[in-house]
Structure 1
Amino acid sequence: MNTYVVYDVFTDRRFGGNQLAVFPDAGPLPEAQLAAIAREFNYSEVVFVYPPDDLRHSARVRIFTPTREVPFAGHPLIGTAVALADLGFPADMILETGVGPIPCTVAQGRGSFTTTTPLTRHGAPDPALVARALGLTVANLDGTVHPPVQAGVGLTFVIARLTDRDALRRCQPDVAAMREGAALHPASLDFATLAYVTQGNMVHARMFAPLDNIPEDPATGSAAAALCALLHDLTGQPQDLTIHQGVDMGRASLIFARTDGPTGGVTIAGHAVRTMEGQFFVDE
């Protein structure tokens, strides 16, 4: 028997945001079954928590999607930090991840973390391919700030700016086009695409990763961090974004993202609420 908790992340109310399963003491779980456990939940991510390698840190976390282990992801860090704080960990903690130690803070159900992983650009997918992958036309893409770009701060996304909210609402991913994109632009995720529109500092976004068994993600902190870092890099201006995601799929989420100082580090913040807990049975 292994105890887990489930949190809805990037929301302050149950049944919104992005679901996350956390195993606070993953040590007894067989290594060979971690991927299968993540597939069994079929959430966008499951987190397994271990004692830290460096005793100055709070814990080591491993993050699994339904198809692979990933080095970094946003809503798992927020949800895990809140879950550990609920279990008695200090409000300020450092979680070891695949991209290094990341400081996290929790206060009244609201978690935040800061990543200083540099922004990396991995490619510039053909706008026509990106539009087709989103079920749109090239006319729906807004290239005034940037054309579609593949970039990330630990986890890579295709980031596409759209012309208006209606275009965002009409997105309907084309899996064949996504496969074509993944073959042309291999990355840590298979052509996972963040589409967004802005109104001042307010962002409406949707993220699709059907090739990674995530048809649509209600809230994607790592993509929010990538977008925030990208806009900072493109404009040379600090960013302070309020990102609405999951609205069109009925799981409204709210992500706060800002760049910190000249290094371009990104802080991601949001609430998380516990929705259930239970025991998972595995073969020994």
Structure 2
Amino acid sequence: MPLLPFSTVDVFTETRFGGNPLAVVVGGEGLSDAVMQAVAAEFNLSETVFVLPPADPAHTARVRIFNRTEEMAFAGHPMVGTAFVLATADADLGTATFEIPAGIVHIEVERNAAGVPVGASVAAPQPLSLGETVPPEVVARMLRLAPGDILVTAHPPILASVGNAYVIAELDETALARCDPDLAAFRETLAEYPQFGTRLSVHVYCRQGRTLRARMFAPLAGTWEDPATGSANAPLAGLLLSLDPAAEEARFEIHQGIEMGRPSLLDVTARRTPDGIRATLRGTCVPVMKGEIDCG
């Protein structure tokens, strides 16, 4: 197996060493799933992607996304970061279409006045779907909070997805700062709710109008906390739009990663469409490293 080129980029930030880091490996068609997973574990980032030839030649690439422990159907910052890396190598790339397990992702590359890529806008592959609700005390137990810290006036904790499911709950600002994931409680909750999948990801937020602060925890997948989670903030925006029946569209500025020292900024818009509520997320990127990896 030849050496494969890789890049790392920080996503949803304009500052190097902020945002959410991503490893992008170009190639690897001959690699087994186990080797790809091992490479992702080696990078030890929230996600690592492999850019492969598309099944449909009209598309840009097939992209496989791995967290530290398993492959993912969809993730937001890998879509933004992968488009940024490909656009850096191809001055003519203005739009991209990625094949991922959750469906087809359409992306618009953003460039500055000099034509240098600075980020991307990503349309989530699926409309918003809402699943079962979760008792507030269950979320509180996983995050070492009191049940009263979970706000239920707007909505109870609920499973939501646009391609990757999260339990979403609203907190106030002080409770958001006090979140402290309890690994044993996550395991106990997964045993009680196996339908939530092996990752059992919890996304919590506080709100001031259209400005949100968020934190995401998925310790069972090796991500104790994530600096920026596009695939969680997209359904969050969709959920909030669904609670406002008079609105056709809602745009949110979402800050994440503050408590980790990796501040991130996501611009997420949810819209009502004929097939349901659709979300688009955008963000900027900063290149960090380049190199080659020996997968043999």
TM-score, reference length from structure 1: 0.96
Match of 2:286 among 262, 273, 276: 273
Moved more, 218-227 or 122-131: 122-131
**Preserved CA contact (<8 Å) 1:49 1:62:** yes
Amino acid in structure 1 at the alignment position of 2:35: Q
- The one of 151, 163, 167 aligned to 1:158: 167
Deviation of 1:117 after TM superposition, in Å, equals 0.8
SS in 1 for 2:168: strand
Q: Deviations over 1:214-253 (max 9, x none)?
A: 0000000000111011112222232200000000110000
Residue 154 (structure 2) aligns with = 145
| 1:136 equivalenced with 2:139 (yes/no) | no
What residue in structure 2 maps to residue 112 of structure 1? 121
1:116: how far off?
Answer: 4.9
AA partner of residue 12 (structure 1): E
Change (3 A) 1:80 1:129: same
Counterpart of 1:264 in 2: which secondary structure?
A: strand
- 1:251 equivalent in structure 2: 262
Residue identity matched to 1:76: P
Deviates more, 1:199-208 or 1:174-183: 174-183
Verify: 1:218 aligned to 2:227, yes or no.
yes
Q: Give the Cα–Cα distance (whole angstroms) in 1 for the partners of residues 191 and 132 of structure 2.
A: 13
Matches of 1:9 and 1:115 in 2, distance apart? 17
Take 1:189 and 1:31, find their aligned partners in 2: how far apart are those partners? 18
Count of matched residue pairs: 282
Does the CA-based 8 Å contact 1:24-1:84 persist in structure 2? no
> Match of 1:243, as an amino acid?
I
Query: What is the rounded CA distance, in whole Å, between the counterparts of 1:140 and 1:202 in structure 2?
Result: 20
Instruction: Give the C-alpha shift of residue 87 in structure 1.
Output: 1.0
Within a 5 Å distance, the mapping from 1:46-195 to structure 2 comes to: 46-88=48-90, 90-108=93-111, 109-162=118-171, 164-186=172-194, 187-195=196-204
- Deviation, 1:143, is 0.5
Gaps of 5+ in 2: 112-117
Q: CA deviation at 1:121?
A: 2.5
Q: Which runs of 4+ in 1 moved over 4 A?
A: none
SS state of the match for residue 247, structure 1?
coil
Distance 2:95 2:260 in 1: 33
Alpha-carbon distance in 1 for matches of 2:80, 2:192: 32
- Cα distance in 1 for partners of 2:36, 2:272 equals 38
CA distance in 2, matches of 1:243, 1:31: 34
Alignment pair present for 1:196 and 2:209: no
For residues 62 and 209 of structure 1, do their structure 2 counterparts lie closer, same or farther at Cα, with a shift above 3 Å needed?
Answer: same
Letter of the 1:233 counterpart = S
Structure 1: segments with no counterpart, 5+ residues? none
1:264 aligned onto 2:294: no
Amino acid across the alignment from 1:121: L
Alignment check: 8 A CA contact 1:155 1:189 kept: no
Identity of aligned residues (%): 42
TM-score computed with the length of structure 2 as normaliser: 0.92
CA apart distance, 1:123: 2.0
Tell me if structure 2 keeps the 8 A contact 1:125–1:181: no
SS in 1 for 2:181: coil
Q: What corresponds to 1:241 in structure 2?
A: 252
Distance in 1, matches of 2:176 and 2:198, equals 21
CA distance in 2, matches of 1:271, 1:147: 32
